[in-house]
Every structure is written in C-alpha cells, then in structure tokens.
Structure 1
Amino acid sequence: MAASAPISKMIYVGPFVHSRSLTELEIGENGAIGVDENGIIRFVERDFHEGFEKLMAYVEENKDEWVHAKVVKIEGNGFFFPGFIDTHVHAPQHPNTGLFGKTTLLDWLKKYTFPMESSFSSLPRAHRVYQNFVSRTLSHGTTTCSYFATIHVPATNALADICLKRGQRAFVGRVCMNSDLSPEYYRDESVESSVRDSKASIDYIRSIDPNGEIVKPIVTPRFSPSCTPDCLSAMGKLAQETDTHIQTHISENKGEIALVQELFPSSKSYADVYDTHGLLTPKTILAHAVHLSPQERKIILARKSKISHCPASNTAITSGCAPIRELLNEGHTIGLGTDISGGFHPSILENVRQAIWVSRHLAITTNDSAKLSTEEALYLATRGGAAVVGLEEKVGGFEVGKEWDAQMIQLGEVKQEGNEDGIFEEGPVDVFGWESWAERVEKWVYSGDDRNTVAVWVRGRLVHNTSRYTGAEGTAAP
C-alpha cells in the first residue's frame, strides 16, 4: 500500500529557502507554510515578523480550518529547504562507495561493480543493502531517487517495497544487459528474458503503488554496449507500451564512446544509437553527458530527453568535466546525480559543491562563463531534478499546490564564550550571529552535511528525523 498521509494538517513556521528560478533563491525569513492531510501545500505566508503569537492569531482569524493544525516551529539558525532529488544512482553499489582505486570506467565495472551486483541473487543481501541505503539517502535530505537496481526481479521488487514503506519517492529499474560485454555470470539470458523480467518488475511496482504516488517503474538498459541492438529496440518498445520512464548512460568516458562506435558502426553517434532504437523520449534520463558532440546535443534537445549531471563520479573515475553551463544555455533540462558508487558520496548537497568545483575547473581551461553559481547548483538539486524525473508540477519548491517534500536544516550557533569543550553537537556549520540569511545558506552549501538535516518529509509524511528534531509544538488554537 502507498505511504500513509499525515494524520492532521500541519503549519511549518520559520525561515524557508527555495529556488525561485535558475539564478535566484527566495529566502522567506518569517515564513509559515500550511500543509493539508494529503501532504499538499495550501498556503504560503512570507511576512510574520511580529512573531509566533501573531501567526496563531492570524490563523484563528483568517483560516478557520487551520486552527487545530499541529505546528512545527524552527528555532535558531534553522530553515526549511526542498527535498533533494537524485536523478542517477545505483542502489546495489552502495557497499562499494568510495572504492574506485586507479580504475577507469570499463575496468571499474569488471573489478567492483559486476561482482557486487551479481551477489544480489541473494535476497537477504539485497534487503540488507537496500534498507541501509534508503535510510542513508533520506538522512541526507534526498526525498526522490532514480534507482538502478540489478538484473534480479525479486531484489528489484524488494527495493521498491523498501522505498514505499519508508516513504521515499523512487523510480526503480531492473537493469537490462545481455551483451558479451557483461560477464557470463551476470547478464540476461536473452532479449526475451530481459523483456519478460523487466515487465514483471514494472507490473509488480504498479501493483503495490497503482497511482505512482511514491514508487514508479523505469525501463533501464544499462548502457548501449551492455545491450545488443535487438535488446535496445525491445526496451524502447517496452517503455512505449507501458508508458514508462527510461534511464541509461551516455558519453561518460572517451573509452566508452570509442567502444560504442566499434559495436554500432552504422550509427552516427552514441546519441544516435539510442535515438534509432526508440530510447530518446521526453521521459528519458541520460546520465553523465560529458562528451556530447554538438549534433548529439541537438538530437537530445529535439527529443526533449533529460540529463543527469554526476560531477563527483565524473571526477572520481576521471571521465571528464561536463560543460553544464553550455548545456543550460542551449535549453537542456538538467538535474544532479550521485552515481553511487562511481560517485563517492550519497549526498546531493556534496554534489552541489562538486558541480560548482567541476565548473570552476572547466573555467580554468576555458573561460569564466563556464562557472556555476551557488544558486544555479541548488536549482539543479531541486527544481532541475524534479523536471528531469517529470515531477516538476509536484515537488522542487514551496508553492501552493505542490507537495511538501522538504528538509529542516539546523545550523550551529557559536556561544559568546566559544566552544571550550571542543564538542560540536550541531554539525559542521558555525554561525556567529552577524551573518545574513544568504550567508548562512552559503555556509551550509559549502560546509554542511547530514548532521544539519534534522528532519525530512515526503508528501507531508515525516520520513527521517534526528534527536535534534523536537516535533510538533502544539496546535494553532486550543
């Protein structure tokens, strides 16, 4: 069954921050956001500078249906921020996070990835890893993930079950791979079995969440070298027949691109391989896109396919620096992905930083126009990611009608006498009190981590909290 809705209306009181546009953050220093029993935002008030009691009087006078709502109020240096959206992540690779050594992409697959993923034929092992990873990503404020699973139907279905139970939005895909590039011990037996097993997972996921409110299936050909031409075509047809999203990789690594040219000699490019097999659609998520040619960019834009930028992974495996500024200028829809375990960290906030660093490294060899700002990187982590997975009308910001996917961020406060005992229970971000709210957000972006994320909600349901979250403060009126 779908994740349960909150049992009562809620009013979230305190500062809130979200992207108004690609280049502009809105910081509501004295906000109040009303969320109904179904997790839908029903009002957003921005100017209650006269305090909590004034807000309660306002609610009692003007919003009769909210007088008995429960209230969550932020104290100190806290603020509400939209939940992060991870547009590309390999859940079964979680145990390998941080293990990439001196390998490049294709070597890394053979040494680390395929052995780990193949072990998910053991359902207890899959449960252990997936339960831990969903909890881990939620703890970092990630409310939506687009997950690659493995070729195993039971384990893939288990991931969907876990996401639904925990309340994390997820696109869950059984990985398709039937070519000789994959080892004999870990590949689909045939095109027919790949279609059959993928359809089985699609049907199962839709049976446990028929309206796709929390979990949705996604067709997942690993990448073109891992699939035969017939398999790619079959996956494109399956996605069309089942009206399903598609996720795969593209132009991550120069060696990979050369392999694609070798395996598909009649194709004009890597993007053309997907296009001619029916896999470039408005519901397609293409991970990496580091080395796209101008013509490939035009094809992707014309097909309205989306891009997942995975900066930490691209650096870790030395794949290259994706020219995100150029792609944004051309009109591409882009979000961020952790790409665990090519990426070394399950946090989208970490990848916000990495996206900025990658753009600055690129600027060193090109020009300053390649740089991404803090505001732009946060947009990619929220509204951009929402558009990549087709949820831009539901999540990514705080507007009336959107669903309450949010995280409560709490920053530290430096005492007048300092921290003489050397204990920092409030996380790594120190606020002295003279910083503006914009500066506090900047400090969080560049220094924060999961210790600053004290509570997380999806569709109004509390799905993660720490001991620093005190919960509802009471009701708006007796």
Structure 2
Amino acid sequence: MSQLFHGTFVHTVDGKLEILENTYMHVKDGKIEYIGKDKPAFEGEIQEFGENKLIMPGLIDCHIHAPQYVFAGCGFDLPLLEWLNTYTFPAESKFKEVDYAKRIYKAVVDRTLSSGTTTACYFATIHTPASHFLAEECKKRGQRAFIGKVSMDRNSPDFYIETTEDAISKAKEFVDSFKDPESIVQPIVTPRFVPTCTPALMKGLHEIIEKHPHCLIQSHVSENLGEIAWVKELHPECPNYTSVYEEFGLLNQHTILAHGVHLTDEELKLLAKTGGAIAHCPSSNFMLYSGICDVRRLLDAGVKVGLGTDVAGGPSPSMIHAMQNALICSRANLFQHRKDGQEYKLLETADVFYLATEGGANALSIGDKVGNFKVGKEFDAIVADMNTGLCDCFTKEKTTDLLDKFVQRADDRNIIRVYVRGNLVKSTAK
C-alpha cells in the first residue's frame, strides 16, 4: 500500500525539535520512503491535513497496568504499599476469569488508541489466558504493544500469588508462544517488583532472557522511600535497589524500570553503564505522593528516559496528560533548586514531547523502527486537529504554539487519525 501525506510534520531528531511545514511524506508498505518539500510522483489521492493540524509520531506509553484501568482514579488517599493491597491485588485477581478480562482489555486498548497511544508497554496479571487475550486484542486493533504476564511469588496475598515453579514455567511458556519477531505485539518479561519476587524466581526469569536475548524486561524501581527500605531489608547484600536487578541478570539495554524517583548517583551510573531505561510516571508519582522525579538529572547522567501513564497509579490513560504532568513535575524541581540557591534547566514542551515519542521508542529498544519520521522507519503517527475539543484557533497559528496547545490542552477529541505501521487504526476525520 502506498500513501502520500501533505501537511505540517512535527517530530524530534536526537532529542531536537524539528518542524516541517508544507511537507510531503510518502509511505509505502508501512514505512517512510520520502519526506520533503517537493511533491513526489504519486498516483492516488493525497491525504491533506491543512491549517492548524499537526502530524506527529504516535505516542508511546512506557508503563501502563492494563487490568488497573478498572479502578483508575480511585484510592489516592493511600500510599503505594497500602494502595496495592486495598485496590490493586484484589482487582487484578479477578482476571483469572477470561470473560471478565476480555471486557476490560477491550476497553483499555480502545481508550489508549483513541488517546493516540500507538505503542503501549503493558503489565497484565499473573493469568496466562487473559494475558494472551490482551496480546490478541492489540494485534486485532493494530496497536503496537509489549505484553507482560506478571511474575510474583512472595509478599503477595494468598488469593493472588504463584509458586516459584509456576511463575517461571508460565513466564517461559508465555514468552515462547510469541513466534513472529516482526509482529507489532511482543512479550516482555515482567517481575512485578523486587519485594514480590524471590531470588529463585528472578534467576529463573534470567534464564528465559538468556534464551531470548532480545526480549525486553520491565519492572519498578525506587518509587517511594518505604519500598526502598523494604528492598534493603530483603537484599542487604546489594548496595541499592537497582543493583538487585543487576545481581539477578535482569538489568541490561532492554530493561525498562518504572519511576526511579529516588535513584542514587550510583544507580544512575549503573543504569547508564548497562543501558537500562526509566519510565517517568509523573502522574502516579504525584497521586500516590511517592516523590518528584528529577528527569533532567537522569538525562544529564546519560540514562534513557521514556514517559508512562502508570494507570492506575496515574488516573488517566492519556499520554497527553502524562506530558502535562511531566512539565509540572519539572517546575516543582525548579522551585526546590531555587530554594537551595541552584540553577536548574526546566523541561520544556519539546522535551516532554520527545519523552512521549522518540525517547519512549529508545527506552523500549524500538528507536530503530519508530519514534520519529526518519526515512526507513515505520509510520506510527497521529494527526491532531487543534481547532476542536478544548482548543480554539482564531487564526492560522504558529506551529510551536500549536504544539504547546497540544501538550497543554488537547485530549482524545483532538486526535482525528491514528496510524500504526501505516495502517489507519482510528479515524474521526471527516
């Protein structure tokens, strides 16, 4: 299939914002073949997106708990560990019923696609059949995704826990079941977090990674101070939280760890050395009062950073809301640095846009495929109409102003088309 697009393209290249106005893009068989000012030879209808519309890379959610969508927005009077026991574990345990899981997972994929999420890195639950359904639903709807069948064998309620042997064998079975390396849906090894995974389980998951060296790994790290203290009690032999993952062979260039709010300088060096990434989840960090992550510090240390909604720690499945909160989080860091008499470089609109697109692609080890509009990459994109929903344009506005409005004011109503690998997976355009 060959398609020609014409309009204003906005993306980042190596973290730098690039605006391409009055530009043509030729997409063939899902890949970008040409982008430039001159109209290429093309037979067929040109897809024109004119005044106050933006064509941007698809948004990449590096951390979202699909089963938790059920109670998104609830329970924010509780800190993390209490919230897990009160809301999360009871809700996730229900996904042993596949019919129930189907209803929820269909809604999650629909909602995230409608919000412009072309790639989602999902935590599922410990239940293999339901996790397989989530993978199939993503394929059916055309959403690029990583599906994590959760592994957990300690410090969990009796009604929601695995034996070590089952956790390892089911994780292996799940990863082995994905046969097509070119599919837009792939498995991701998912130890929930250190407190719920025994050393034996983590060693077993490492053996899966040895067999599948390109398989991604996801978990959590240094989300709040109580969690960090707990990990220290469980693993006094390790100098810090991040090093536990390294100790058990679960930290490499394909690892993405959510939060990283309280990382030490030593942990930053370890992440930079190994190539591990952080999924910045500002909405969740605020709502569960875990802390304020200094993303600028992570980036300056050479750590890969993407952005996540962290539903249901974050109340919204919208990556636009995650970008908004990343900007607010950066301003909160500025206040603290000013209080301490220090200079601080804020995250700007272009920075959080990078985190939600190119940065997320790099964090998920798919930067060679998606994240921006370089020739040869796959066409994962969204088209935003910035004169609808909560946004009004009274003249033809500057592209930089439109991008500001998109990050600060847009929602799913503004996203009129969504493409994954060149396929139109959502359209509200007339």
TM-score by length of 1: 0.87
Alignment of 1:150-169 (within 5 A): 150-169=125-144
Letter in 1 for 2:400: A
| Other-structure match for 2:121 | 146
8 Å contact from structure 2 (residues 52, 396) kept in 1: no
Letter in 2 for 1:323: D
Answering whether residue 152 of structure 2 is matched by residue 171 of structure 1, we say no
| Other-structure match for 1:262 | 233
| Other-structure match for 1:277 | 248
Q: Structure 1 residue 16: deviation in Å? A: 1.0
| 266 and 252 in structure 1: CA distance in 2 versus 1, 3 angstrom threshold | same
| Other-structure match for 1:222 | 192
Cα RMSD after superposing both structures: 1.2
Q: Structure 1 residue 21: deviation in Å? A: 3.6
Answering whether residue 172 of structure 2 is matched by residue 202 of structure 1, we say no
Q: Structure 1 residue 343: deviation in Å? A: 0.5
Alignment of 1:122-141 (within 5 A): 122-141=97-116
Alignment of 1:27-426 (within 5 A): 27-36=19-28, 38-45=29-36, 47=37, 55=39, 59=40, 63=41, 66=42, 68-179=43-154, 181-188=155-162, 190-204=163-177, 206-207=178-179, 210-243=180-213, 244-367=215-338, 368-412=343-387, 426=388
Distance 2:187 2:352 in 1: 27
Distance 2:124 2:45 in 1: 38
Distance 1:101 1:169 in 2: 30
8 Å contact from structure 2 (residues 259, 279) kept in 1: yes
Q: Structure 1 residue 447: deviation in Å? A: 0.9
TM-score by length of 2: 0.97
Q: Structure 1 residue 142: deviation in Å? A: 0.6
Q: How many residues align?
A: 425
Answering whether residue 393 of structure 2 is matched by residue 431 of structure 1, we say yes
Letter in 1 for 2:9: F
Q: What are the ranges of 5 or more consecutive residues in structure 1 without an aligned counterpart?
A: 1-7, 49-54, 413-425, 471-478
Answering whether residue 411 of structure 2 is matched by residue 449 of structure 1, we say yes
8 Å contact from structure 1 (residues 100, 316) kept in 2: no
Report the structure number with the largest CA radius of gyration.
1
CA displacement, residues 307-355 of structure 1 (integer Å, 9 cap, x when unaligned): 1100000000000011110110111110000000000111111111111
* Secondary structure in 1 matching 2:426: strand
Q: Structure 1 residue 211: deviation in Å? A: 2.4
8 Å contact from structure 2 (residues 146, 187) kept in 1: yes
Distance 1:140 1:434 in 2: 24
8 Å contact from structure 1 (residues 362, 370) kept in 2: no
8 Å contact from structure 1 (residues 326, 370) kept in 2: no
Letter in 2 for 1:43: Y
Distance 2:210 2:75 in 1: 36
Q: Structure 1 residue 434: deviation in Å? A: 5.4
Task: Give identity over the alignment, percent.
Answer: 41
Letter in 2 for 1:347: S
Distance 1:301 1:20 in 2: 21
Distance 1:411 1:293 in 2: 41
Q: Structure 1 residue 176: deviation in Å? A: 0.3
8 Å contact from structure 1 (residues 137, 347) kept in 2: yes
Q: Structure 1 residue 75: deviation in Å? A: 2.9
8 Å contact from structure 1 (residues 86, 348) kept in 2: yes
Q: What are the ranges of 5 or more consecutive residues in structure 2 without an aligned counterpart?
A: none
Distance 1:233 1:296 in 2: 21
CA displacement, residues 341-392 of structure 1 (integer Å, 9 cap, x when unaligned): 0001111111111111001011101145152111111001100000011111
Alignment of 1:8-23 (within 5 A): 8-22=1-15
Q: Structure 1 residue 435: deviation in Å? A: 3.0
Letter in 2 for 1:185: F
Q: Structure 1 residue 39: deviation in Å? A: 0.3
8 Å contact from structure 1 (residues 9, 70) kept in 2: no
Distance 2:326 2:260 in 1: 14
| Other-structure match for 1:474 | none
* Secondary structure in 2 matching 1:171: strand
Q: Structure 1 residue 232: deviation in Å? A: 1.3
Letter in 1 for 2:21: E
Q: Structure 1 residue 143: deviation in Å? A: 0.4
Distance 1:400 1:267 in 2: 44
CA displacement, residues 175-207 of structure 1 (integer Å, 9 cap, x when unaligned): 00000x10010011x221111111121122x13
**Structure 1 residue ranges, 4+ long, deviating more than 3 angstroms after superposition:** none
| Other-structure match for 1:51 | none
Distance 1:159 1:86 in 2: 16
